[in-house]
Amino acid sequence: MIQSFPPVFQENAGCLILGSMPSVRSLADGFYYAHPRNAFWPLIAGVFKEAVPDGRPQKISLLTRHRIALWDSAAACEREGSLDSAIRGAQPNDIPGLLARCPGIRAVLFNGKTAQALCLRFYPELAGSGSGLALRLLPSTSPANTMPFAQKFRIWREAVEEALYGSSEDYRQEAGRAGTDPR
């Protein structure tokens, strides 16, 4: 049985990004998205026009400064290798508990289809209109997903901006008020 990591968050988070389960490389390194060909960190850094963070503290800072929480849908599972298709016997992370600790989260962004399928299997009520959450499936950042980086980036940027600011236009207006463009 392999175990996921604890969530990365601050209570002021505005959106939650859910993966499925850390890869073999991430488990060995002890933190999310450690495979050098995984596009997650370049995508998130690119959304905010920042350098790709090197170490764990820099990665946590990038997320929390921009009010992003990060976790996995599954807390534990059986899996040989890193492919999501090999996940068996998944057990849920306490997503509702995290949402209760971060009442400002209004959007959940799924990093790939398996993250979405697991979360909604464990917590179908999150998809209901009463949850108050916007749910959005995004292309997986895994190297197994061969979608070109530029296409992934466009989709991820739009989703993150909408999750945090309501729209890309709202994002640009807020950045203008602050006198900077944080992308």
Q: Is 143 inside a domain boundary?
A: yes
Query: Which CATH number fits the domain that encloses residue 169?
Result: 3.40.470.10
Q: How many domains does the chain have?
A: 1
Query: Regarding predicted confidence, which is higher, 163 or 83?
Result: 163
**pLDDT at residue 42, as a whole number:** 98
- Active-site position among 12, 38, 111, 145: 38
pLDDT digits (tens, 9 = 90+) for 78-130: 999 887 888 999 999 999 999 999 999 999 999 999 999 999 999 999 998 88
Asked if 156 contacts 112 with a C-beta cutoff of 8 angstroms, the reply is no
pLDDT digits (tens, 9 = 90+) for 39-70: 999 999 999 999 999 999 999 999 999 999 99
Q: Is 82 inside a domain boundary?
A: yes
Which structural domain range is residue 125 located in?
2-178
Q: What percentage of residues in the chain have a pLDDT greater than 70?
A: 91
pLDDT band for 177, please (50, 70, 90 cuts). very low
Q: Is 119 inside a domain boundary?
A: yes
| Model confidence at 149: pLDDT above 50 | yes
Burial of 19 (0-12, 13-18, 19+ CB in 10 A): buried
Q: Is 125 inside a domain boundary?
A: yes
Q: Is 83 inside a domain boundary?
A: yes
**pLDDT at residue 79, as a whole number:** 93
Tokens 């979405």 belong to 116
| Model confidence at 73: pLDDT above 60 | yes
- Whole-number average pLDDT of the chain: 91
Cα–Cα distance measured from residue 42 to residue 19, given in angstroms and rounded to the nearest whole number: 16
| Model confidence at 182: pLDDT above 50 | no
| Model confidence at 170: pLDDT above 80 | no
Is 12 an annotated catalytic residue?
no
If you compute the radius of gyration of the chain from its CA atoms, what whole number of angstroms results? 16
Q: Is 135 inside a domain boundary?
A: yes
**Residue 38: Cβ within 10 Å count:** 23
Q: Is 183 inside a domain boundary?
A: no
Q: Is 75 inside a domain boundary?
A: yes
